[in-house]
Amino acid sequence: MKKALILVDIQNDFLPGGALAVPEGDMIVPLVNRIQEKFDLILATQDYHPANHASFAINHENKKPGEIIDLHGLTQVLWPAHCVQHSDGAAFGKDLDMARVTKIFYKGENPDIDSYSGFFDNGKRKKTGLAEYLKSKGVDTVYIVGLATDFCVKFTALDAVDLGFETYVIKDATRAINLQPGDFEASLKAMERAGVKVIESEDL
Ligand code: VGL
Ligand code: ZN
């Protein structure tokens, strides 16, 4: 069994003060740093949007963040502009230990489609290369942490299971956006139903 730890989108815009701040997002950082010693392979995803990205409310007339639109046939939540390429908001949190991260997988670079999963865009049209990289390293088990539980962590975990990886989400090393109250718990349940094992960091 070869295990990898995947750090999902632990970027300034998802941390307090960021454009799409996840409540308590900063609280996972010391924990994520601490658990890294348990893994041989550590990877990160980085939400990395061009300024004209279609997921930004500002790029649509008369739309506000939180509204939902149909984007080329896919349901799309509109977000505040966030994680714009080369901006400080797109950078990894300054207290996040990146020294042992061997590869970063970018997502959300295509302006016409959003990308919650670290593996594919939301239409599953294009791969990020994460699955192929994990397989090339002989990884069969992935542990997922980061932001946000109810979006990028969830879709990364669901795809990981689908791709045949034994998949764990370390619940206390994630935080949710909670557009609706209860989205954190609902997303954990949805992941469990799909075969993701939801654990606490103390179970490692
Ligand atoms: C995310 C919304 C938009 C996430 C990324 O990382 O969970 N959520 N872009
Ligand atoms: Zn995004």
- In this prediction, residue 16 carries a pLDDT of 98
- In this prediction, residue 1 carries a pLDDT of 87
Q: Mean pLDDT throughout 85-101? A: 98
Query: Residue 152: CB within 6 Å of ligand 1?
Result: yes
Query: Residue 130: CB within 6 Å of ligand 1?
Result: no
Percent of the chain with pLDDT over 90: 99
CA dist., res. 97 & res. 173, Å (int)? 14
Using the structure block, give the residue that is written with the tokens 């045949």: 164
Per-residue pLDDT tens digits for 113-172: 999 999 999 999 999 999 999 999 999 999 999 999 999 999 999 999 999 999 999 999
**Which alpha helices (DSSP H) does the chain contain, by range?**
29-35, 130-136, 154-162, 183-193
Query: Residue 155: CB within 6 Å of ligand 1?
Result: no
What are the structure tokens assigned to 13, written together?
């815009």
DSSP 204: -
Catalytic residue among 47, 121, 152, 171: 152
Q: Mean pLDDT throughout 178-203? A: 98
Structurally, at CATH architecture level, domain 3-49+85-203 sits in 3-Layer(aba) Sandwich (3.40)
Query: For this structure, is 114 an active site residue?
Result: no
Q: Which long-range contacts (CB under 8 A, 24 or more apart) does 56-59 make?
A: 56/80, 56/81, 56/82
- In this prediction, residue 145 carries a pLDDT of 99
Per-residue pLDDT tens digits for 54-68: 999 999 999 999 999
DSSP 79: B
